[in-house]
Amino acid sequence: MRKIRFREALREAMSEEMRRDESVFLMGEEVAEYDGAYKVSQGMLAEFGPKRVLDTPISELGFAAIGVGAAMNGTRPIIEFMTWNFAILAFDQIINGSAKMLAMSAGEFGNPIVFRGPQGSAGQLGAQHSQMLTNMLASVPGLKVISPSNPYDAKGLLKAAIRDNDPVMFMESEQMYSDLGEVPEEEYIIQIGKCDIKREGTDVTIISYNKMMKLALKAAEELEKDGINAEVIDLMTIRPLDMDTIIQSVKKTNRAVVIDESWPFTSIASEIAFQLQRYAFDYLDAPVVRVCGADSVMHYAPNLVDAYLPSVAKIVDAVKSVSYQK
C-alpha cells in the first residue's frame, strides 16, 4: 500500500468530498493563495477556485460566524484554524452558536460544519501556542470531537466528519503533518464514535489519542522487554466516547493507564478514569493511573517543555506502578 503524509491525507479527504458534494467549501487563514499554513490545502485553490477555497482575515470569531451561518443555509463548510489556540476567540460561535443551533431552532436549522486545525505542544512555542483544548470542547453537548493519530485514520475520519450533520471539531497536531502512513487509494470512511485497538495485549490497557499515541506504542515496546504485554487503544473520537471498547479491554487486562497531553484537572483522562472505576470497578486489580501534561502553563525553555509533557519513561513507570499490584 502507498504511504502518504498526514497533511496529504487531510487534503485528499477534503478534495474528495469537495468533488463529491458542491456544497462543501474550505475557509480559513492562508488556506488559498499561500496553500495553507501547513500546506494541508496545497493545490486546492487551483482545482476548486476562490469561491470554494477562501482566504479570510485574521479574525477567528468572524469567519467562524460566517461558517455557522453558511451551514444553517445548506452548505457544509470546513473552517480551518491556524491553531486551536487562536480558535478560543471563536468559542462563542462554536459553543453558543453551532453546538446549540439544532436545539434552539427546534430542529429547523442543522449545523453540518467541520472546524479543524492543530493543537497541543509543537516544540518551543510558549504558553499561548501550546494548549491542548480537547477537553474543553468535548464537554459541550452538541459537538463531536475527533483527534486522530495517523494518516489513515485522519483521512477516513475527516471524510466522515464532512458528511456528518452535526458540528465536528477535528483536532490535529502540528507535529504530525509530516508523518508518513499507509493510506489506500480507494475510498473508505471510518465511523465516528469508535476506538481502535492498535496493539493487542493481556496485562494492561494503555489508552490515548493524537500524538500521544506514538509514545503509548513506544512504551508498549519497552514494556514488552520486561515481560509486560500492553494493549494500546487509540480513542480517535473523543465525543462520542466509545467506553464499551475500553471497558471490554480492561475486563481482560484488569489494569488501565490513560495518556493525555491535556492538563490533568478535568482532562479526558479524568473522565475515562471515572467511567472505568464506575463501570468496570470489579475488574480492576489496581487504580486507574493518568499520565497527563503538567498542571501548569507551558514554558518556553526546552527542559521545561520536557518536564511538562508525558514521555515514554513516564508511561513505563505508570504501567509498572499498577502491573504488580494484586
pLDDT at 326 over 50: no
Tell me what pLDDT residue 325 has.
56
Point out the catalytic residue in the list 17, 60, 261, 271. 60
* CA gap 170, 110 in Å, rounded: 18
Residues of the domain holding 303: 196-323
Residues 240, 152 share a domain: no
Average pLDDT over residues 302-324: 94
Active site residue 33: no
Cβ count near 266 (within 10 Å): 12
- Would you say residue 187 lies in a domain? no
Q: Is 224 exposed, middle or buried (0-12, 13-18, 19+ CB in 10 A)?
A: middle
Residues 212, 160 share a domain: no
CATH number of 14's domain: 3.40.50.970
Give the distance, in angstroms, between the CA of residue 107 and the centroid of all CA atoms in the same chain. Answer: 28
Joined grid coordinates for residue 67:
461558517
Domain C-terminal end among 152, 182, 212: 182
- Would you say residue 86 lies in a domain? yes
User: Could you tell me the pTM of the whole model?
Assistant: 0.96
pLDDT by residue (tens digit) across 224-251? 999 999 999 999 999 999 999 999 999 9
* CA gap 321, 326 in Å, rounded: 11
pLDDT at 324 over 80: no
Residues 36, 151 share a domain: yes
Tell me what pLDDT residue 246 has.
98
* CA gap 323, 86 in Å, rounded: 41
- Would you say residue 188 lies in a domain? no
CB 66 within 8 A of CB 60: no
Residues 141, 75 share a domain: yes
pLDDT by residue (tens digit) across 48-65? 999 999 999 999 999 999
Average pLDDT over residues 106-114: 96
State residue 57 phi and psi, 5-degree precision. Answer: -65, 170
Residues 8, 150 share a domain: yes
Tell me what pLDDT residue 123 has.
86
pLDDT by residue (tens digit) across 21-43? 999 999 999 999 999 999 999 99
- Would you say residue 61 lies in a domain? yes
Residues 136, 267 share a domain: no
pLDDT by residue (tens digit) across 273-304? 999 999 999 999 999 999 999 999 999 999 99
Active site residue 299: no
Cα–Cα distances (Å) from 192 to 146, 256, 258, 267, 281, in that order, read: 8, 23, 21, 21, 27
Residues 82, 136 share a domain: yes
- Would you say residue 48 lies in a domain? yes
233: which DSSP letter?
E
pLDDT by residue (tens digit) across 6-20? 999 999 999 999 999
Tell me what pLDDT residue 323 has.
83
Q: Please state, for a pLDDT cut of 70, what percent of the chain lies above it.
A: 99
Number of domains, the chain: 2
Helix (H, G, I), strand (E, B) or coil at 228: coil
- Would you say residue 260 lies in a domain? yes
Domain C-terminal end among 151, 182, 213: 182
* CA gap 323, 228 in Å, rounded: 8
CATH number of 272's domain: 3.40.50.920
- Would you say residue 190 lies in a domain? no
- Would you say residue 191 lies in a domain? no
Residues 220, 167 share a domain: no
CA dihedral sign of residues 257, 134, 40, 159: positive
Average pLDDT over residues 260-268: 96
* CA gap 54, 57 in Å, rounded: 10
Joined grid coordinates for residue 293:
501534561
Domain C-terminal end among 115, 148, 182: 182
Residues 122, 31 share a domain: yes
Point out the catalytic residue in the list 8, 17, 29, 129. 129
pLDDT by residue (tens digit) across 137-191? 999 999 999 999 999 999 999 999 999 999 999 999 999 999 999 999 999 999 9
Residues 239, 90 share a domain: no
Residues 292, 168 share a domain: no
State residue 145 phi and psi, 5-degree precision. Answer: -130, 125
Residues 288, 155 share a domain: no
